[in-house]
Structure 1
Amino acid sequence: MAESKREILKKKILDAAEKRIESQGLAALRARDITKDAGCALGSLYNAFEDLDLLILAVNSRTLARLHVSLQNAPASQETPKEKLLALALAYLDFGTKNRNLWAALFDHRMQPGVPVPQWHLEEHAVLIAEIIAPLSQLNPQLDDDTLAARARTVFSAVHGIVKLSLEGRFVALDPDAVQAELSAFMSQYLQGYQPG
């Protein structure tokens, strides 16, 4: 079945927005630039997407899907839960490094005041935690679901903080050449307290 003109236009606008974010970052994203790149009128953007926020969420959905695939593929050859968690952390660093602006947009975008993030997009972000829960539950099978989810969020937050500060080159950031080794050391130290389940 052929794509409708509206779907073709929507894809062109989405592709243009993704390329803009990838090359210039979220802060430089402008509706006029997107429609110019897509070869359409400014009003076409708002026919395809309700507003710029929903367009950004659509780009972020694509990025999350690619990140999810990277995380799923990372631990495929690893045997122990600790190795899987370390592989996930390193895959997260690798994805952020290779897709810096798109990755940053996942966390830097804010909806307009008073407008909640749609539930479907929150659920897409949940895959980041879900990938951590499985190996953590193998290490600590006695943990209840709420505690396990909290621990997974803690691991994600720690890894994300190390990656974010390093990629942004903040004053407390690690040297780029040391990030992978230090992230591995952090994960190894954190996981020392866990006994295999």
Structure 2
Amino acid sequence: MLARPLPDYLVRRYHGWKATSYAENRSWYRRLAEEGQRPRAMVISCCDSRVHVTSIFGADQGEFFIHRNIANLVPPYEPDGNQHGTSAAVEYAVTTLRVAHLIIMGHSACGGVRGCYDMCEGNAPALEDKTSFVGRWMDLLRPGYADLPEGDEATRVAALEKAAVMTSLGNLMTFPFVKSAVEAEELTLHGCWNDISTGGLEVLDAETGVFHPV
């Protein structure tokens, strides 16, 4: 086995949590274990360590079903026999947990989106290599590059971050069980973008395709 013991600082933090947060809410954790989870919403966010959706929305354990991946992307519906972690998470949330809301959370300074931008500009040969998992994942966002507005680089990269949210929302509707749940008004889709530096949150207006501060 290659696995090693946890670093001491993580063990200390665990014991601190067990003695405080857990001890003060012991009955709630027991109820979650015995009755199962009933989250009202699924959140698909980036792996970026600076994006912490439970803190942003003040969520407790059991409220959100969370899936994280590079650049908060959802691939199109492709039941081709390959392994699809994101698609499996969406299926479980919608068909088994029957969440009422599905939120795509994008953010500023996204490394994955920046990688896609650099690829499209011809400045990321390592990501272009067919063996790059990140590069092939970010191929999902390449179509969004063609629609970027004119402007400086920072403006265009920020626009691509928001295009990643819209790409994911569009791809979600290719899943038959998502489409049927939305049409039956059993599920609503939401697009958000978090500005890490200011703590700002913008929400997509589906009718105009514009993100507005909340």
The structure with the greater share of residues assigned to helix is 1
TM range (shorter): 0.3 to 0.5
The structure with the greater share of residues assigned to strand is 2
